[in-house]
Structure 1
Amino acid sequence: MKMFEFTNYIPKLVDPSIALDGSTKEHCKNVMIYAERLGRSLGYLDIEKLKYAAYFHDIGKLNIPEEILSKPSKLTEEEYEIIKKHPQIGYEYLNGIGVEEIQDTALYHHERMDGEGYPMGFYGDQIPVEARIVAIADVYDALTSDRPYREAMCHEDAIRLMKNDKGAFDQKYLVCFINTFEYDMIE
């Protein structure tokens, strides 16, 4: 969908985004920025679609209890299972308001290239390009931001951790993400 068409959906999306807590909203903005940079570096053509998909990737967290989202300690198995529902919730929400163009990113952004992700267990090329891009941006921002349960990692430690998790990310996209950051740091 082209930008001028997509802007018709913004009023439907704005109200729920206001409900996001400050740290989730900041995370979504950061993911949008990182995804846009990676998308441009990869030559992805529909940057506006990617930006909206990235910004609303966690919209399903609106239905997750705040006490779970802001818990300062490790989640229980039951709490983690609840968190794992947010991609499906986000998909259904976006589908329900007629924003099919970005719903797959909400659904698949926790899939892994090795098939060990959730909710579908998709792997490799089964995972849409936008979701692969957003997954990298999402994890990078999560690692480099303070969370209720831990302090932020530095850039180098986050990149090292992501590189070592070989099955998680599209390696071509991850290398491009790393190179984009290194180029930006030089300038």
Structure 2
Amino acid sequence: MACDHSASHSGAARYLRGASQLQLMLVCDDCGAELMQLGRVDYHLEPRRLVVQVAEMISRELELSEAQTHRVRFASLVCGVGRDQMPASIVSKPGPLTAQEWVEVQRQPELAAALLSDVSMEDIREWILCHRERPDGSGYPRGLMGEQIPLEARILAVADAYTAMVSERPYRPRRDHQQACQELVRCAGTQFDAEVVKAFLRASLQSWLHPGGALASSTPS
């Protein structure tokens, strides 16, 4: 039976709303383990750590500053908390979503961004709000295109998608690293920023993510 998250994730959401900026950044230093465990007994730690680590890996490959990289890591953590506010009936649904359920899913960036409404982090809120936008304009909630989408949001999009693909979902089995990379390449330039995908592929060759040290040679054009 699917767990009802309505009460279990509320501790993390309250913590985000009530904490100072310094407290939030200190939490992020441990990949969010302390934050995400607040009131969340069925917490899946590894995907949450993975999305933070992938976001950091891409940021460093793109040579973002240390301060900016840290903020991207934090944004990736908050995206996960926002996702946990979605109804369990949607998150755990094994089949296709209805039109109304899809409308609810599209609210996820706004739910996540709202968690920082009481904290002075306007730029991070904007990245979170935009992390489901797509270079071809088919994303949400605003239908932004290309460089209208902040670079940090484009990084979050790739980190979030990779983590989702290599994690188990009720409606599909997990993909392995190479399959996930192939999907990122296939969608580069439309769903994902091509330069961010390239940065991820380069960085993954040197990381623990890649099992054999020799990723398939295809890269986005």
TM-score range, shorter chain: 0.7 to 0.9
Question: Contact 1:41–1:180 at 8 Å: present in 2 too?
Answer: yes
Question: Contact 1:19–1:62 at 8 Å: present in 2 too?
Answer: no
Deviation at 1:80, TM superposition (A): 1.2
Specify the SS of the correspondent of 1:58.
Answer: helix
Deviation at 1:11, TM superposition (A): 8.4
For 2:58, the equivalent position in structure 1 comes to 38
Deviation at 1:117, TM superposition (A): 0.4
**Bigger shift: residues 55-64 or 132-141:** 55-64
Q: Which segments of 5 or more consecutive residues in structure 2 lack a partner in the other structure?
A: 1-19, 215-221
For 1:175, the equivalent position in structure 2 comes to 198
From the two aligned structures, give the one with the greater helix fraction: 1
Distance 1:59 1:71 in 2: 19
Deviation at 1:8, TM superposition (A): 3.6
State the Cα RMSD in Å.
Answer: 2.5
TM norm structure 2: 0.74
For 1:163, the equivalent position in structure 2 comes to 185
For 2:112, the equivalent position in structure 1 comes to 90
Give the % identical residues: 30
State yes or no: 1:109 paired with 2:131.
yes
Match of residue 76, structure 1, among 79, 98, 113: 98
Match of residue 148, structure 2, among 126, 132, 140: 126
Distance 1:158 1:126 in 2: 26
Question: Contact 1:91–1:104 at 8 Å: present in 2 too?
Answer: yes
Per-residue CA shift, 1:94-138, capped at 9, x if unaligned? 123443242112211111011110111011111111110110011
Question: Contact 2:25–2:74 at 8 Å: present in 1 too?
Answer: no
Specify the SS of the correspondent of 2:117.
Answer: helix
Specify the SS of the correspondent of 1:94.
Answer: coil
Distance 1:155 1:139 in 2: 12
Cα gap change, 1:103 to 1:163, in 2 (>3 Å): same
Distance 1:54 1:130 in 2: 10
Q: Which segments of 5 or more consecutive residues in structure 1 lack a partner in the other structure?
A: none
Per-residue CA shift, 1:9-40, capped at 9, x if unaligned? 458998873355523x5433211100101101
**Bigger shift: residues 84-93 or 61-70:** 61-70
- Structure label with greater radius of gyration: 2
Question: Contact 1:144–1:158 at 8 Å: present in 2 too?
Answer: yes
Whichever residue aligns with residue 43 of structure 2, its letter is G
State yes or no: 1:29 paired with 2:46.
no
Distance 1:126 1:42 in 2: 18
The number of residues matched between the two structures is 182
Distance 1:104 1:170 in 2: 17
Distance 1:101 1:9 in 2: 15
Distance 1:39 1:12 in 2: 19
